[in-house]
């Protein structure tokens, strides 16, 4: 601060400090891991393998490329369709449970429905709950959300595989828990950060905290909540396919099996099936958002 009392601007801004710190941290991480661009240069054998793999992108398989196909084996396109359908069903089931968890925990982790209550709500039983139990519930819910979303769905899959074995319920819970935690965090933040004009008007008319929450804050945050929910649905479809690498009968299982057998045409067939599924889900979610949020 200058002698005349006028605050002088900091010659090194906060943004410059943050950017510099990030660059230094990245450089230290690269050095600690011993990373180098030379590691990305493939060997002659690796380059040939990559060439054969990417060349089949233009000629995916329409039938099985296995040398021996047992009698009664379904056609490759039928297998791809069934795996795509299983991926969609698994993702939809997990997303439905994740939405329940996200809405319930998002409500519990939000302080918007009780923190802005007027002086009259500080008396009686509700006043005691507002001073003691509700802050504890909010804090405990936020801690639970952190735990749920801190563990990746692949690690949850390992835990459930060890606990209950290879079944669809294990896959659904492995996806629903971390996605439910992410949805709860975003939903609670969207509501807490929603514009408060309507809420203050309802408060002035004598509405309770819950009434203000449901009729003023939720409608303001709902468009963003719907948009984010559909985005996470697209993500959970990709995650459900990845769970196939653990043995669940989704697209990932057949991608892994075909790749291990060096049947690269089959790999691209299943990859294109996953691409079609994600693009279709994106188109459907976009159409629904336009109708709901119009």
Give CA–CA dist 115/237, Å, rounded.
37
CA 65 from centre of chain: 35
Q: What is the pLDDT of residue 125?
A: 59
According to the model, what pLDDT value does residue 80 have? 93
Q: What is the pLDDT of residue 133?
A: 78
What's the average pLDDT block by block, 10 residues per block, for the chain (294 residues)? 55 78 92 80 77 89 82 86 95 95 92 64 60 80 93 91 88 95 94 79 73 82 89 92 90 92 92 94 85 69
Report domain extents, the chain: 76-292
- At residue 73, the pLDDT reads 78
Residue with tokens 């965090």: 185
Cα dihedral 65, 70, 71, 74 sign: negative
Measured CA to CA, the distance from residue 159 to residue 146 in angstroms comes to 18
pLDDT of residue 112: 78
What is the rounded CA–CA span in Å between residue 157 and residue 37? Answer: 33
Residue 272 CA to residue 266 CA, distance in Å, equals 10
Torsion of CA 193, 198, 199, 200, to 10 degrees: 110
Place domain 76-292 in its CATH homologous superfamily: MetI-like (1.10.3720.10)
Give the Cα separation of 245 and 98 in Å (integer).
22
pLDDT at 87: 95
């Amino acid at each position: 601060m200058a002698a005349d009392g006028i605050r002088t601007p900091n010659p090194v801004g906060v943004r410059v400090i943050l950017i510099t710190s990030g660059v230094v941290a990245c450089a230290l991480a690269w050095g600690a891991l011993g990373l180098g661009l030379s590691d990305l240069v493939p060997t002659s054998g690796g380059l040939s393998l990559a060439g054969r793999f990417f060349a089949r992108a233009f000629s995916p398989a329409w039938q099985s490329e296995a040398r021996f196909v047992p009698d009664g084996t379904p056609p490759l396109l039928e297998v791809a369709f069934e795996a795509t359908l299983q991926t969609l069903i698994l993702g939809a089931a997990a997303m439905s449970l994740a939405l329940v968890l996200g809405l319930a925990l998002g409500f519990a982790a939000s302080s918007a429905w009780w923190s802005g209550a007027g002086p009259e709500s500080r008396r009686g039983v509700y006043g005691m709950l507002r001073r003691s139990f509700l802050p504890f519930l909010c804090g405990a819910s936020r801690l639970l959300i952190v735990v749920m979303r801190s563990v990746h769905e692949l690690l949850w899959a390992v835990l459930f595989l060890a606990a209950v074995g290879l079944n669809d319920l294990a896959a659904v819970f492995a996806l629903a828990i971390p996605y439910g935690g992410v949805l709860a965090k975003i939903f609670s933040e969207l509501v807490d950060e929603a514009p408060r004009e309507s809420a203050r008007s309802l408060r002035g008319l004598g509405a309770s905290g819950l009434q203000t929450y449901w009729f003023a804050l939720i409608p303001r945050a709902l468009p963003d909540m719907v948009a984010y929910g559909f985005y996470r649905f697209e993500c959970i479809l990709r995650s459900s396919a990845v769970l196939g690498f653990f043995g669940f009968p989704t697209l990932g299982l057949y991608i892994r099996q075909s790749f291990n057998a060096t049947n690269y045409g089959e790999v691209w067939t299943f990859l294109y099936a996953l691409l079609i599924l994600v693009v279709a889900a994106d188109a459907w979610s976009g159409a629904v958002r336009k109708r709901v949020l119009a």
